Amino acid sequence: MSLKEDINFSLWCDFIERDFLENKFQDIIKDEIIHGATSNPAIFESSISNSVAYAQQLQMLQANEAKTIYEELAITDIKRAAELLDDLHLEDLNDGFISIEVDPLLCDDTQGTIEEGIRLNSQIGSDNVMIKVPATEAGYEAMKELTSNGIHVNATLIFSPEQAIKCAKALDEGIKASNKDIKAVVSVFVSRFDRMCDLEFKEKGLETGKLGIMNATKCYHEVEKIANKNIRTLFASTGVKGDDLPQSYYVDTLIYPNSVNTAPLATIEDWLENGKKEESEIISEVDCDKYFEILMSNKIDVNRVYDELLNDGLESFKDSFKVLLSKLQKN
């Protein structure tokens, strides 16, 4: 995919499941459609709960505690994904990564996050693994510490420019302290803004399907100001819900230099068939700021939106993790 090489843009797949890894995943790597992958607690909860591919290993692990069972299952998948992506990583050290998230219940525990990140990284033992850390106050220090210890990091659940700035600064400091070629991404969530706000915007006569793109672009500009070639903005949560927008909308509009888009498999497939393959015109930071001034004049409290989406995201991942642990304990 020449586009990626031209502007350092990559498409990663936001899905992990054992049968998928042995089939479709390998096809889309071979065809150079994707250059990496991501996972999260909700993805693993769905995959482990609904796929028979885990039954044999579950049976072997049933005497263990629930979190140990989960980690063994998840680490097996992450190791396999890392193995399949390794050639891409060797060709281009910016790419070929797979992400695994620390226990979401640790989101306010800096030391616990650091210890678990180091442990998971060591257990997986692959150079193309990123440890996912939520962008909370506790998470910023953990990101800095993990990168300074030579661990690649995916900073996740970023909704506001303030979070993006704090993540980028923490990662920049950690990478520089490591004296190693450590990579990091700042994962800015996109589509959830429009799902949350479009009804209110429509009622106020404001353009719908726009807040997610404008906010993501503002965050992108903030990350780019750090000017660390080892840190890229990753546009996450880019699947479209409903029929109001083209399925590849959040990919088409965010093909920016020095960025990643991690999308669900269905979104990737639609983008391949119907989406735009050329570089997107970058919305200027001035235009982003003007847009937010318009929202303010229409009494849209964007800071409230940021807080609600972050809290919802944290609680959603915690709930998925608790549900999965409960199922594994009963297994």
**Catalytic site positions:** 132
101 vs 155: CA distance, rounded Å: 10
312 token code pair: 């919802």
Each residue of 60-95: b (16+ CB within 10 Å) or e?
Answer: ebeeeebeebbbebbbebbbbbbebbeebbeeeebb
Residue 317 neighbours by CB under 8 Å, 6+ apart = 40, 41, 42, 101, 104, 134, 157
Q: Which residue do the tokens 């850390």 mark?
A: 133
**Paired residues of 63 in beta bridges:** none
Angle at 44 between CA 38 and CA 50, to 5 degrees: 130
Question: How far apart, in whole angstroms, are the C-alpha atoms of residue 329 and residue 62?
Answer: 8
Radius of gyration of the chain (CA): 19
- The values of phi and psi at residue 192, to 5°, are -60, -25
